[in-house]
Amino acid sequence: MNLFNKSFLAAALVCCASVQAFSQADNAPQNLPTDYLTPSFHAGRRQALRDMMPANSVAVIFAYPERVFSKDVNYVYHQNPDLYYFSGYKEPDAVLLVFKEVQADGDSSYNELFFVRHRDPQRESWTGRRLGVSGVKTKLGFKRVYNSDEFAKFPIDLKKIKTIIYDDLPDDVGGGGAGSLKELLSTFKTKGEIQDVDKGLVNDLNLISRYGTPKNIDRIIAYIKPRISQDAYKNNALIQELVNKPDSATLMDVKAKIDASPSGLSLFEKFTTELRGVKTPEELVLLKKSVEISSIAHAEAMRAVKPQMGEQELEGIMLYVHKHYGAEDEGYPPIVGAGANGCILHYEENSATKVDNQLVLMDVGAEYHGYSADVTRTFPSNGKFTEEQKAIYQIVYDAQEEVFKLCKDGIKYGDLETKTREILSSRLIQLGIIKDAKDVGKYYPHGVSHHLGLDVHDKGEYGGNLKAGMVITVEPGIYIPAGSPCDKKWWNIGVRIEDDVLIGKTEGTVLSIDAPRKWQDVEKTVAEKSIFDGGRLFPAFK
């Protein structure tokens, strides 16, 4: 609701006295979950960040902007996962500063500052409670907390700090006014003399530094060449050096130079990737719960499915189960695609009014206290795979089984992809769907894995080896849209099976085991009774 519209103003004038009489104690939240990450978890993460930071540096982390859903209605707010990770704060219009060294401040000192959204009883009576300065102190354990409108005049001289570490700053933030994110960003740019940078170039230098090797130099040059006419690339000495003399020695020299003077942006990416890529025990409790809730929801959707059900209705069943078990949200827009729709990788419309006697692909994951699951199951709505569907399903299943065996400490992350392609291609050749292994990408157009955590496609190291404590997805898939150059009997079969795996020292643990996966178990589950069976809404439309 727009707090500035006339009806609000009228209501506010009428209700003002009673709102102000509403004390914070009377209005304390009731019956909240008790398993949120603790202040000591977040403090530990800030210390781990500080330990990685170079001398005389500060890390600056902003809240995500609010976004418009419809005119004067915003999307439900979602915090920047990095700010949540380091603070537990879930509100907009905030900035956190983590200093490497203790900063003197008269008789006192600090090594972190947090500017947060101010309390406002009137607005809170419309749009919900705010922690405010005192709540952030008592509930999140910060010592130096201020209202966000105090950042502009706060006496810190960021120009004295050698390295300012920060993430991409959004340049499309609306609103404004004292203490708004827009003001915080502009204050930061002024205080820190932050220049606008070409984010594409920073990203590319980062990629070269992290993943460039003499083996892939041709790919790197091929990637950069189309960009070198852009000013930022033309004026960058390192890019020019590499393009003018594209050999291994130059690549190694360029990498060393990038590493010797890293930008604040690339350091932020590097440190948060390293920290968030390996989960702590506290995080694993929440991530496991998120995956478990999602797995139970998948099983229930299998039990509930009927050919006359719509894609959205199946989505709703899963969302009900998520909410039932306390998941606040989904980690990404649910994908529920029947038949041909199952061949669209990130199909989000879910608009078919019935799934009919077809395969249904559901890629749906809950978000529990910030942690996202990512689970996909594919099942026949009538409980029986056709021979062709079963053959494709089994290939995907077998690829997954082989990749699970690699989910352990020390294995090269890239080996998971190599193994997947090897299995999918050889089996597609056996079925006569492709003739040459290099064509596997026609039917398997995505990667087999990504990190999972506060972001569904989480921060984490993709170029090196797996480490115990990482959580990744294993998600092979085969999609054969109508018109594909193979026997028609395969058309419109789309199968993805996606599980979430905790990397262990000697083996991985599949966290999503409660979602049936073997084709026999899937058929059995579809035949079972659901809690949604037999119910009838009143009044019924049909």
When binding is defined by CB under 6 A, the residue of 498, 499, 500, 523 that contacts ligand GLY is 498
Nearer to ligand GLY, 140 or 362 (CB): 362
Token pair for 144:
């130096």
Token representation of residue 115 = 């500017």
Stretch in the footprint of Mn ion (CB under 5 A) among 26-34, 78-86, 323-331, 371-379: 371-379
In the structure encoding, which two tokens stand for residue 385, read together?
């795979």
Residue 201 in contact with residue 299, Cβ under 8 Å? Answer: no
Task: Write down the least CB distance from residue 402 to ligand GLY, Å.
Answer: 19
> What is the DSSP-derived secondary structure letter of residue 165?
E
Pick the closer one to ligand GLY by CB: 433 or 456: 456
Q: Does 473 bind Mn ion (CB under 5 A)?
A: yes
CA distance 400 to 308: 31
- On whether the CB atoms of residues 376 and 479 are closer than 8 A, the answer is no
Q: Is 455 in the site for ligand GLY (CB under 6 A)?
A: no
Query: Taking CB under 6 A as the criterion, which residues in 298-337 touch ligand GLY?
Result: 332
Under 8 Å between Cβ of 255 and 212: yes
Minimal distance, residue 234 CB to ligand GLY, in Å: 35
Residue among 365 and 508 whose Cβ is closer to ligand GLY:
365
Q: How many CB atoms lie within 10 A of CB 107?
A: 5
3-class DSSP state of 536: coil
Q: Does 374 engage in binding with Mn ion (CB under 5 A)?
A: yes
Q: Provide the CB-side half-sphere exposure for 292 (13 A, CA).
A: 10
475 binds ligand GLY (CB under 6 A): yes
Stretch that binds Mn ion, among 56-64, 153-161, 361-369, 482-490 (CB under 5 A): 361-369
Instruction: Kindly identify the residues of this chain, within the stretch 254-293, that bind ligand GLY according to CB under 6 A.
Output: none
Residues contacting residue 540 through CB under 8 Å, at least 6 positions apart: none
Which position's Cβ is nearest ligand GLY? 363
Cβ 335 to ligand GLY, closest distance in Å?
A: 6
> How far is it, in rounded angstroms, from Cα 521 to Cα 510?
16
Does position 492 interact with Mn ion (CB under 5 A)? The reply is: no
Question: Smallest distance from the beta carbon of 53 to Mn ion, in angstroms?
Answer: 31
Q: Evaluate whether 365 touches 371 at the Cβ level (below 8 Å).
A: no
- As measured in angstroms, the least distance from the Cβ of 342 to ligand GLY is 13
User: Closest separation between CB of residue 111 and ligand GLY, Å?
Assistant: 37
Q: Which of residues 371-400 bind ligand GLY (CB under 6 A)?
A: 374
Closer residue to Mn ion, CB minimum distance, 66 or 500: 500
- Structure-token pair, residue 107: 């008789």
| Interacting positions 81-100 with Mn ion (CB under 5 A) | none
* CA dist., res. 533 & res. 301, Å (int): 11
- The DSSP code sequence of 247-286 is SHHHHHHHHHHHHHS--HHHHHHHHHHHHHHS--HHHHHH
Residues 494-513 that bind Mn ion (CB under 5 A): 498
Cα–Cα distances in angstroms (integers) from residue 140 to residues 37, 118, 136, 357, in the given order: 10, 15, 5, 51
Decide: 359 and 378 in contact? Cβ < 8 Å.
yes
- Residue 148 binds which entry of Mn ion, ligand GLY, none, with Cβ cut-offs from 5 to 8 Å by kind? none
Residue 332 binds which of Mn ion, ligand GLY, none (CB < 5-8 A, kind-dependent): ligand GLY
DSSP-derived 3-state class of residue 418: helix
Give me the least distance between CB of 537 and ligand GLY, in Å please: 30
347-376 residues in contact with ligand GLY (CB under 6 A) are 363, 374
- HSE (side-chain half, CA atoms, 13 Å) at 210: 19
Nearer Cβ to ligand GLY, position 311 or 363?
363
Nearest-approach distance from CB 459 to ligand GLY, in angstroms? 14
Q: Shortest approach of ligand GLY to residue 126 CB, angstroms?
A: 34
In the complex, minimum distance from the CB of residue 487 to ligand GLY, in angstroms, rounded to a whole number: 28
Q: What, of Mn ion, ligand GLY, none, does residue 311 touch, CB below 5 to 8 Å by kind?
A: none
Residue closer to ligand GLY (CB basis): 112 or 330: 330
With contact defined as beta carbons under 8 Å apart, do 233 and 201 qualify?
yes
Report the C-alpha gap between 96 and 501 in whole angstroms: 32
Tokens of 409: 């400490």
In this complex, which beta carbon is closest to Mn ion, that of residue 187 or of residue 372? 372
CB of 279 to ligand GLY, least distance (A): 18
The residues binding ligand GLY (CB under 6 A) are 332, 363, 374, 456, 475, 498
Interface residues with Mn ion (CB under 5 A) are: 363, 374, 473, 475, 498
